[in-house]
Structure 1
C-alpha cells in the first residue's frame, strides 16, 4: 500500500459499504462521485477524467488490453510495469526537450549539472 495515498475517488456504483471498508481496512477516505438524477444525457463528472485518463494510459500496453494473466499478482505486476514505462517515457521526453532548449540558448547553462567536456 502506498502511504502517500489518503483520498480515493469511487464511481457511484461502488456506493454502500465501500467508504466504511476503505476507512477501516486501509485508513483511506473514499469519496463517491455521484451523478445527479435530474440530468439527462452525457455529463462530465468531477474527477472522473482522472480515472479515464489513467485507464487509457494502461490500455496502451498491449498485454493489458485482454486479461491474459491467470494470477492476480502477475496482472498487478503488468499494471505496474505499464505505468513505469509510461512515466519513464514522459521523463525522457522532458529531458530531451530540456536539451533542445539549452542548445537553442533559451535556458542558461546553470540549469543542470555541467558535463566534464563542457557541453
Structure 2
C-alpha cells in the first residue's frame, strides 16, 4: 500500500527541501511510504510538501521495485491517473485504486487503506517523527526507518497481544 503524509518542518529544515501543501495548508515536507498488508514499512521517501501525490509517488515506487518483489500496490484516489499507467509500463507493477464509497459521509474505515494509515499513526507516536526536524531528507528517512524498527521490536518483545491498562482503584485504609 502506498500513501503520503504532510508534516510541518522545523526552522532547521532547509528552504530547498521544504514546500507548501496547499490542500492541507502545511509548510514542510511530505513523506511517501509503501507498506505491506500488515502495515510494516517497506520503503520511504521524503520530499518537499509542494510535490503532488502522483509526482512524489514515482521515487518511492521505483525504490520499492528495486528493493522488493512487490508487484501489486493499493493506493488511494490521489495516486490515480497517469501514475497507474507509468507503474504498469515501466515497473511492471499493478496499482489498484481504492476509492471511498460514493454515499460515504464523514469518517469510515476504507478496506485495504487502514493498514497504511495505521502505520502513519505508529510513526507519529514517536516524538521525533511528529514533526520534521532534520536538515537533510536522507536523515528524515533514516529516522522514519528507525521508528518503524523500534515499533516492531517492541511488539516482538511484548510476546502477546496488546492489552489496555486497567484503571487502578486505590483504597484508603483508616
TM class, shorter-chain normalised? Answer: 0.5 to 0.7
CA RMSD of aligned residues (A): 1.9
State the partner residue of 2:156: 91
State the partner residue of 1:37: 102
Which ranges of structure 1 fall in alignment gaps of 5 or more residues? 98-119
Q: Which runs of 4+ in 1 moved over 4 A?
A: none
Which of the two has greater helix per residue? 1
State the partner residue of 1:62: 127
Which ranges of structure 2 fall in alignment gaps of 5 or more residues? 1-63, 161-174
User: Taking CA–CA contacts closer than 8 Å with sequence separation of 6 or more, which of the two structures ends up with the larger relative contact order?
Assistant: 2
Q: 1 CA distance for matches of 2:90 and 2:137? A: 20
Secondary structure of the structure 1 residue equivalent to 2:100: coil
TM-score computed with the length of structure 1 as normaliser: 0.68
Which of the two has greater strand per residue? 2
Q: What is the CA deviation profile of residues 1-33 of structure 1, one whole-angstrom value per residue up to 9, with x for unaligned ones?
A: 332322222111221112122233433221111
Secondary structure of the structure 2 residue equivalent to 1:40: coil
Q: 2 CA distance for matches of 1:42 and 1:92? A: 33
TM-score computed with the length of structure 2 as normaliser: 0.49
Size of the alignment, in residue pairs?
95
State the partner residue of 2:145: 80
